[in-house]
């Protein structure tokens, strides 16, 4: 089976490539045999893409890397040809950047996805797995979202993801394409660019600096280890039903303030290192996913507890300064 992974040099996409090639960050328990003959990574290498993320699988004869933009129809057409499956991670992925400027989010997330879908349609690609987010549902005060919940995104990032998510499902309904959508909660783990809250806080703390906590710190997120996320995606790729949406969560809801406390403790720092900052504009209060569907249909359960996952992640950032230190000075534009 020939698998194309877009955004495979990013945080989550690179773990998916490691899983496909037999070198994941955790055990592949419950994951059906993947056995790819070719894994092609198509990645533009934006500020968040990094070839070093693929170091563990570098040299695997099945791995092919193409540097290119998913918005470029010529490149996409050439790369998509001959693949049986596309797993589509490539995106602009940081909410704060989308508040500062939405244009690259609309271009890559919406137009880029449409460009890929059109190429997959032309080439008769067997299966298209679109990686979406729980942020497309908006914010929820009580209870949890099932996959049939209406979409009500609040940030330019989540609106662009909702656009691509609905577009992918429309290609199934309109053209009968074998498209599946996954919507996951907040990921964390090794190789995450140090602008998202966990790697930002850990790297700042390891550097002896302070960490910015938004608003009252009461926003609630469900944390999912990147390896568990990729196990869930593999189950969807192998056993999911065409045209279906699958939520993938970690079952670990907690406030940002509580998370901050855990990270301070893991890094041996105190609350004097926390600087309260003005809340993010339009900050969603709470995310909560119902994962009954993927659990009952495909046998998914998260395998990494938050305690263990955070401890492993902090240790990874302690031991891999050469990976993240240069990224802290990457221009943010
Ligand atoms: N990180 C999370 O917590 C989270 C949560 C829910 C959903 N997601 C989704 O998962 C996917 C992966 O997220 P991530 O955290 O790994 O992001 P990331 O920013 O670490 O990686 C994105 C990758 O896409 C590549 N890319 C960006 N624009 C491109 C373009 N135009 N053409 C080709 N490649 C391009 C980048 O170079 C990078 O390698 C995204 O679709 C994101 O929306 C992420």
For 94, half-sphere exposure in the C-beta direction (CA atoms, 13 angstrom radius) is 19
> Would you call 105 exposed, middle or buried from its count of C-beta atoms within 10 A (0-12, 13-18, 19+)?
buried
Q: What is the distance of C-alpha 311 from the center of its chain?
A: 20
The reply to whether 135 belongs to the active site is: yes
Rounded to the nearest angstrom, the distance between the alpha carbon of 11 and the centre of ligand 1 is 7
Q: Please state the rounded mean pLDDT for residues 250-279.
A: 95
Among 5, 7, 8, 224, the mutation site with the greatest number of ligand 1 atoms within 8 A of its Cβ is 7
What is the ipTM score, two decimals? 0.99
pLDDT for the residue numbered 307:
95
pLDDT in tens, 205-223: 999 999 999 999 999 999 9
Q: Does this model's pTM top 0.95?
A: yes
CB of 256 closer than 8 Å to CB of 217: yes
Q: Which residue in the block uniquely carries the two structure tokens 């949406």?
A: 245
How far does the centroid of ligand 1 lie from the alpha carbon of residue 254, in Å?
Answer: 24
What is the structure's pLDDT at 181? 98
In the numeric block, which tokens belong to residue 35?
């056995």
Checking DSSP bridges between strand 274-277 and strand 253-255, what pairing results, if any? Answer: unpaired
Pocket of ligand 1 (CB under 6 A): 6-7, 9-13, 43-46, 48-49, 69-71, 89-93, 108, 112, 131, 133, 161, 184, 186-187, 193
pLDDT at 331 over 50: no
At residue 330, does pLDDT exceed 60? no
Would residue 157 show up in a list of annotated catalytic residues for this protein?
yes
Q: With pLDDT > 70 as the criterion, what percentage of the chain qualifies?
A: 99
Per-residue pLDDT tens digits for 85-97: 999 999 999 999 9
pLDDT for 57: 97
Tell me phi and psi for residue 36, to 5 degrees. Answer: -75, 150
CB 177 within 8 A of CB 169: no
Taking only the tens place, the pLDDT of each residue in 22-55 is 999 998 888 988 889 999 999 999 999 999 999 9
C-alpha torsion sign, points 116, 196, 207, 306: negative
Phi-psi region of 62 (alpha: psi -120 to 50; beta: other; left: phi over 0): alpha
Asked if pLDDT for residue 297 goes beyond 90, the answer is: yes
Condensed to tens digits (0 to 9), the pLDDT of residues 127-157 reads 999 999 999 999 999 999 999 999 999 999 9
pLDDT of 125 strictly over 80 = yes
Q: Is 272 a catalytic residue?
A: no
């Amino acid at each position: 089976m020939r698998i194309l992974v877009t955004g495979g040099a990013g945080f989550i996409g690179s773990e998916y490539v490691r899983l496909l090639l037999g070198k994941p960050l955790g055990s592949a328990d419950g994951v059906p045999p993947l056995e790819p003959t070719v894994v092609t990574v198509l990645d533009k290498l934006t500020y968040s893409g990094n070839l070093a993320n693929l170091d563990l699988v570098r040299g695997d004869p099945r791995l092919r890397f193409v540097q290119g933009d998913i918005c470029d129809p010529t490149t996409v057409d050439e790369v998509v040809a001959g693949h049986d499956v596309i797993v589509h991670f490539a995106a602009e992925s940081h909410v704060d950047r989308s508040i500062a400027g939405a244009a690259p989010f609309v271009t890559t997330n919406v137009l880029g996805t449409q460009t890929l879908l059109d190429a997959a349609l032309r080439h008769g690609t067997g299966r298209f797995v679109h990686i979406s987010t729980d942020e497309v549902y908006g914010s929820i005060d009580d209870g949890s979202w099932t996959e049939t919940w209406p979409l009500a995104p609040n940030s330019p990032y989540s609106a662009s993801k909702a656009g691509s998510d609905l577009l992918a499902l429309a290609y199934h309904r309109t053209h009968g394409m074998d498209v599946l959508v996954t919507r996951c909660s907040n990921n964390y783990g090794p190789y995450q660019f140090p602008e998202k809250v966990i790697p930002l806080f850990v790297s700042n703390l390891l550097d002896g600096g302070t960490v910015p906590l938004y608003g009252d710190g009461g926003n609630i997120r469900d944390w999912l280890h990147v390896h568990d996320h990729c196990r869930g995606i593999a189950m969807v790729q192998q056993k999911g039903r065409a045209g279906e949406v699958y939520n993938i969560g970690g079952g670990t809801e907690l406030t940002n303030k509580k998370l901050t406390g855990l990270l301070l403790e893991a890094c041996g720092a105190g609350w004097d290192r926390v600087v309260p900052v003005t809340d993010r504009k339009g900050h969603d209060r709470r995310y909560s996913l119902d994962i009954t569907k993927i659990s009952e249909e495909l046998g998914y359960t998260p395998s990494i507890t938050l305690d263990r996952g955070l401890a492993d992640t902090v240790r990874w950032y302690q031991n891999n300064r050469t990976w993240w230190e240069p990224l802290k000075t990457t221009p943010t534009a």
